[in-house]
Structure 1
């Protein structure tokens, strides 16, 4: 088979590698609590007279908490259900945060926004908000003070216009849960559906309120079971030592594969390098969190990738010893090794999926990196290694049997 017949596969591989390299160059890795430290909070959803903690409402509560945390710019955080589908617990991990009290206030508030007239009638709620953001006051005497600027939905704007028209000269109070944010006098009807909430806020407090309002009110009451600051398990020096150890381990694997399988071992080393690029690149694109268990999953799949190559090369050598040509031996070797490699990967993948389904936090991260690594290592062994060996077995190098390890 001529080299030009591999052009399509080569171009495909180049594009995939280019995307992975781009991700590694441009995307910042997200470090988990064990590498970066932060706040770890365990919540439990409670039944109330207004609502029972059904799986659907628990998931809605989780989503609201996630929106609140993300609205503060803490996109590295992980908010997930703990245990099985019937579990009421929600785990919140916020890497880099040092103040658990702030996190508890942000997460635990119901965040029910209400606009009330003097007689206690509710005219607007947070559901009537279309947009909300922090702005700076232009009012004389309060220039530069942080305020909350809001825009109402079309229905909310109509209700607010009617309410302000009916209450000119009267107070309309703004409450968040039980806290009175402001109690201004209506000077004239507000018909454009826009307004500001003033309360002498600091920029940080205004941002916190905006995060609560953007996230919405909690469908269920939550109780904080535990809240703690987690310090990084590895210091910067230990991380650097781990990186050196990983590089040394890869070099030793490359040397062994090349010494034992000669040129095929060298090609396998190239395939393993591509595997690592793809694995890290895809994890970065998926915004995966790198923790110690997650890194262990990557190392484990590297070992599986090496194992797959060893199985394939031994099958090829068996075919060569039986007197077949190199091209025929490569074809038969991959065909016979495929079932063994496939079964091994499916078995491990099944266990990894179970870890993802039932695990939480760091354990779930291990399952995710393991699953992704298994799929990429299988692609590396069956597609990348095969492509490299096919290309070089079609060249004049194929006549030098010694460089192929037989």
Structure 2
């Protein structure tokens, strides 16, 4: 179920500054550590997409807060909105969206496949599993891309028609388990975004982002 982000600027509107901008966001409800880490993963992706250097994304687990520092930001209000909006997970073939986050129940990094190597195990909804079976049957030997918003997470070649609603992505031992855990967090974040709100924003000094 997709939730709506409640953007609540408790300390006034963000200001555009030359040197930098710091924003603190917090979940709108009590969440566990796993959910908070998922939220941070999405924020990390969004910060990277801004094209800034030496950005900082910190997790304060004691207060369920994420602190973001953005050096050299030009439009702080727009950047803030981008950081907390809902992330959309999509599966694409030839640039066309064939499945999205609503079709995914959970992604998990585990071991399996031919060599008992690190793999990604996907658990799809009933409807998502049926569509996935049809889509893979029609697109054997084509590449399927998995995206979080417009950020490509990975590409996988469809080797055969896949039914059962629990496909695996096998990297033939080429990816470490820790990397696949990051992918799983990112995919789960897209499927189940955590509601966030801005609770503080401020400008920062000229040393941010400079050596």
Q: Normalization by structure 2: what TM-score?
A: 0.50
Q: 2:90 aligned with 1:114, yes or no?
A: yes
Q: CA deviation at 1:71?
A: 4.1
Q: Which has the higher contact order (CA 8 A, sep 6+)?
A: 2
Partner of 1:123: helix, strand, or coil?
A: strand
Q: 1:222 Cα deviation (Å)?
A: 7.0
1:148, 1:197 within 8 Å by CA — same for their partners in 2? yes
Give the conservation status (yes or no) of the 8 Å contact 1:110–1:221: no
For 1:142-181, list aligned pairs within 5 A.
143-145=116-118, 147-181=119-153
Relative distance call for 1:108 and 1:135 in structure 2 (3 A) is: farther
Return the offset for 1:155: 0.5
Deviation track 1:38-69 (CA, whole Å, cap 9, x = no partner) reads xxx7128xxxxxxxxxxxxxxxx735x946x4
Specify the alignment match of 2:34 in structure 1.
Answer: 70
Instruction: Kindly report the root-mean-square deviation, in angstroms, between the aligned alpha carbons of the 2 structures.
Output: 4.4
**Contact persistence 2:25–2:197 (CA under 8 A):** no
Give the TM-score normalised by the residue count of structure 1.
0.29
Distance 1:66 1:207, change over 3 A: farther
Cα drift, residue 124 of structure 1: 0.9
Relative to structure 1, is the Cα distance of residues 42 and 72 closer, same or farther in structure 2, using a 3 angstrom cutoff? closer
For residue 52 of structure 2, what is the aligned residue in structure 1? none
- Structure 1 or 2, whichever has the larger Rg, is 1
Question: Are the aligned partners of 2:89 and 2:149 in contact in 1 as well (CA < 8 Å)?
Answer: yes
Aligned to 1:210: 184
* CA shift in 2, pair 1:138/1:164, >3 Å: closer
Which protein has the bigger helix share?
1
Secondary structure of 2:28 counterpart:
helix
Counterpart Cα distance in 2 of 1:223 and 1:148: 35
The match for 2:62 is: 95
Structure 1 regions of 5+ residues with no counterpart?
1-40, 45-60, 75-91, 102-106, 227-406
Structure 1 contact 115–123 (Cα < 8 Å) conserved: yes
Aligned residues: 144
- The 1:136–1:187 alpha-carbon spacing in structure 2 relative to 1, beyond 3 Å, is same
1:193 alignment partner, SS class? coil
Aligned to 1:262: none
- Tell whether 2:159 aligns with 1:192: no
What is the rounded CA distance, in whole Å, between the counterparts of 1:62 and 1:169 in structure 2? Answer: 43
2:101 paired with 1:126:
yes
- C-alpha displacement of 1:208: 3.5
Map Cα deviations across residues 243-262 of structure 1 (whole Å, 9 max, x no partner). Answer: xxxxxxxxxxxxxxxxxxxx
Summarize the Cα distance change of 1:71–1:139 in structure 2 as closer, same or farther, 3 Å threshold. farther
Q: Call closer, same or farther: CA 1:156–1:183 in 2, change over 3 Å.
A: same
**C-alpha distance in structure 2 between counterparts of 1:195 and 1:162, whole Å:** 13
* Structure 2: segments with no counterpart, 5+ residues: 1-22, 39-58, 69-82, 203-211
Q: What is the alpha-carbon distance in structure 1 between the residues aligned to residue 142 and residue 97 of structure 2? A: 15
Indicate the SS of the match to 2:188. Answer: helix
| 1:306-333 deviation line (CA, Å, top 9, x unaligned) | xxxxxxxxxxxxxxxxxxxxxxxxxxxx
Aligned to 1:376: none
Partner SS, residue 184 of structure 1: strand
Compared with structure 1, are the counterparts of its residues 222 and 124 closer, same or farther at alpha carbon in structure 2 (3 Å cutoff)?
farther
